[in-house]
Amino acid sequence: MFSGKSEEMIRRLRRAEIAGQRVLLFKPRIDDRYDAADVVSHAGVRMSAVPVDGCAELIARARGCEVVGIDEVQFFEETVVEAALALADGGVRVIAAGLDQDFRRLPFGPMPELLARAEFVDKLQAVCHRCGGPATTTQRLVDGKPALYSGDTIVVGALDAYEARCRDCHEAGADAQAVAAAA
Ligand code: ZN
């Protein structure tokens, strides 16, 4: 989050458009934080996107594309990996952007499999909200305090606040140790 990943993906998709390739950007319908039909980066860079309910719709609507972008790919079901591989096997260049870890710093949804199967991976870093160092984690705050470990992973558009944090500044929820002990 805040690492510029959507912006970087849009930059690559725009270059493909300039090269005359047929490009489509998809995003999960769950994510309507900024705009129902556009992908908008935190820095305000935008590109029109096709919201889809799942992988079947993504595959169907990607027909005829040469380059496919997938934003917020961590919100898709696990089958998004097979979908991306099927597109790639069919000659489509697939560029996906997503968060590799959830707010607990655990691997996010389909991301581990996707990272393992991808040919190229760029891991971007944000700037830590606390110390200004390179940030690789997402801090979820509820009423200014670290969100409970047992909270839902996906709370799009909720009043919770998110901050980019480095490893040292990331704070676990008050119940983190109790949850870990019970696991
Ligand atoms: Zn920090």
Q: What does the pLDDT read at residue 96?
A: 97
Mean pLDDT of 157-163: 74
Catalytic residue among 72, 78, 119, 171: 72
pLDDT in tens, 58-114: 999 999 999 999 999 999 999 999 999 999 999 999 999 999 999 999 999 999 999
d(CA 7, CA 23): 16
Question: Is 171 one of the annotated active-site residues of the chain?
Answer: no
Question: CA–CA distance from 115 to each of 38, 109, 134, 156 (Å)?
Answer: 25, 11, 21, 23
Distance CA 51, CA 67 (A): 16
CA distance 117 to 168: 30
Write down the pLDDT at residue 141: 92
pLDDT tens, 105-158? 999 999 999 999 999 999 999 999 999 999 999 999 988 899 998 887 776 655
**Residue 129: predicted pLDDT:** 95
pTM score of the predicted model:
0.88
- Is pLDDT larger for residue 173 or for residue 131? 131
Q: H or E segment at 164? A: strand 161-165
Ligand 1 centroid to residue 84 C-alpha, Å? 34
The count of residues in the chain is: 183
